[in-house]
Amino acid sequence: MSTTSTISKKSAVADPEQVSETMPKRKKMTVPAFTAAKGGKPLVCLTAYTAHVAHIVDEQADMILVGDSLGMVIHGMPNTLGVTMEHMIMHGQAVMRGAEKALVVVDMPFGSFEESPEVAFRNAARLIKETGCTAVKLEGGREMAPTIRHLTNRGIPVMAHVGLMPQQMNTAGGFKAVREKDQFDEVVKDAQAVEEAGAFSVVVEGVAVRLANKITKSVGIPTIGIGASVECDGQILVFEDMIGLFPRVPTFVKRYGNMEEMMRDAVERYSSEVRARKFPSDDYTYKMKTD
Ligand code: KIV
């Protein structure tokens, strides 16, 4: 591991002059710019939970979500319900140390916003003050509209989340995708209600292609899909799922790498070299200064 404690913001740029000639300079993504991207080039979004991953993702992503899926993919929880404000703040702070250009959004964990708009404001303000993130995300449709209105009226940008809502898994009886035609209108109404309440964008999770198309056409804010087809204004995946570092693979996850295999291989080779006294060899050993 490197002993450098801060993330170099420039490490991705080998020759700044050459890069500026060939690539348009990326500006810091703002909430109004994100909303204005509706219907344009698809928005690229990913989760990140550590500073260095945020630094890597930031090179491409328009938005980085510090999602409560961190409870499952980082902390080994069976679902997201046990995630606390302290988890979100600690990972939010780490991500903010690595991100430079992308819009950083932090999820409101289960139990931190449902009770009342006032409780939601207190917790959302804490996420923003203690992490430095720009916006919060919360799960819920029409029932959360008054809370979204309360937050946005007081300076807190909100990304909403409709369709499959993992925090409602106990009432839904599991992680259930929305695929029945008679459920479609309810989800469209949810998306319209959160837009009307002031949400700047909405995550649409686990819905059939036709419903994703209907929602995207019915709202003026960007729809960010996860398991919601190409019919959305942007896409998001959980980073650990996408790089092959988490064993559960839902239908909608495409693995763009197999990090688990690479890590297992590295641990195996290290172990056998330690056991054979091959590591550390001379190359990895301090010599006396007078040698
Ligand atoms: O927590 C999370 O990772 C999320 C995404 C599934 C959008 O909410």
Amino acid 22: pLDDT? 59
> Among candidates 225, 231, 223, 222, which has minimal Cα distance to 254?
225
Ligand 1, atom 8: closest residue by C-alpha: 67
Binned at pLDDT 50, 70 and 90, residue 11 comes out as: very low
d(CA 58, CA 98): 8
Which of 139, 195, 205, 231 does the annotation list as catalytic? 205
> Among candidates 117, 97, 126, 131, which has minimal Cα distance to 5?
97
**Which positions ≥6 away from 186 have C-beta within 8 Å?**
141
Does ligand 1 lie within 6 Å of residue 134's CB atom?
no
205 is catalytic: yes
pLDDT in tens, 269-279: 999 999 999 99
Ligand 1, atom 1: closest residue by C-alpha: 67
Amino acid 290: pLDDT? 80
d(CA 100, CA 7): 11
Amino acid 249: pLDDT? 83
d(CA 162, CA 206): 9
Does ligand 1 lie within 6 Å of residue 68's CB atom?
yes
Q: How many residues does the chain have?
A: 291
Strands 201-205 vs 135-139: parallel, antiparallel or unpaired: unpaired
pLDDT at 143 over 90: yes
Cis geometry, peptide bond prior to residue 280 (ω within 30 degrees of 0):
yes
Assess contact for 36 and 233: CB atoms under 8 A: no
pLDDT in tens, 110-119: 999 999 999 9
Q: Reduce the DSSP state of residue 79 to 3 states and report it.
A: coil
Retrieve residue 145's tokens.
């509209």
Beta bridge partners of 235: 44, 225
Phi-psi region of 54 (alpha: psi -120 to 50; beta: other; left: phi over 0): alpha
pLDDT in tens, 198-207: 999 999 999 9
Binned at pLDDT 50, 70 and 90, residue 21 comes out as: low
Amino acid 291: pLDDT? 57
Task: Please state, rounded to an integer, the average pLDDT across all residues of the chain.
Answer: 93
pLDDT at 66 over 50: yes
Q: How far is the CA of 96 from the centre of ligand 1 (A)?
A: 17
d(CA 286, CA 103): 43
Does ligand 1 lie within 6 Å of residue 238's CB atom?
yes
d(CA 215, CA 207): 10
Does ligand 1 lie within 6 Å of residue 66's CB atom?
no
d(CA 110, CA 106): 13
**Which positions ≥6 away from 127 have C-beta within 8 Å?**
85, 88, 89, 92, 106, 108, 133, 136
d(CA 173, CA 277): 53
pLDDT in tens, 147-202: 999 999 999 999 999 999 999 999 999 999 999 999 999 999 999 999 999 999 99
Under DSSP, the state recorded for 275 is: H
Find the range with the poorest average confidence among 23-27, 119-123, 218-222, 249-253.
23-27
pLDDT at 19 over 60: no
Q: How far is the CA of 107 from the centre of ligand 1 (A)?
A: 8
Does ligand 1 lie within 6 Å of residue 241's CB atom?
no
Amino acid 3: pLDDT? 41
> What would the mean pLDDT of 10-30 be, rounded to a whole number?
60
pLDDT in tens, 189-231: 999 999 999 999 999 999 999 999 999 999 999 999 999 999 9
Ligand 1, atom 2: closest residue by C-alpha: 67
- Ligand 1 atom nearest to 137, measured from its CA: 8
Ligand 1, atom 5: closest residue by C-alpha: 67
Amino acid 95: pLDDT? 98
Longest dimension (CA), the chain: 80
- Ligand 1 atom nearest to 69, measured from its CA: 1
Q: How far is the CA of 218 from the centre of ligand 1 (A)?
A: 22
What percentage of the chain has pLDDT greater than the value 90? 88
Binned at pLDDT 50, 70 and 90, residue 7 comes out as: low
d(CA 8, CA 2): 12
Does ligand 1 lie within 6 Å of residue 67's CB atom?
yes
Does ligand 1 lie within 6 Å of residue 236's CB atom?
yes
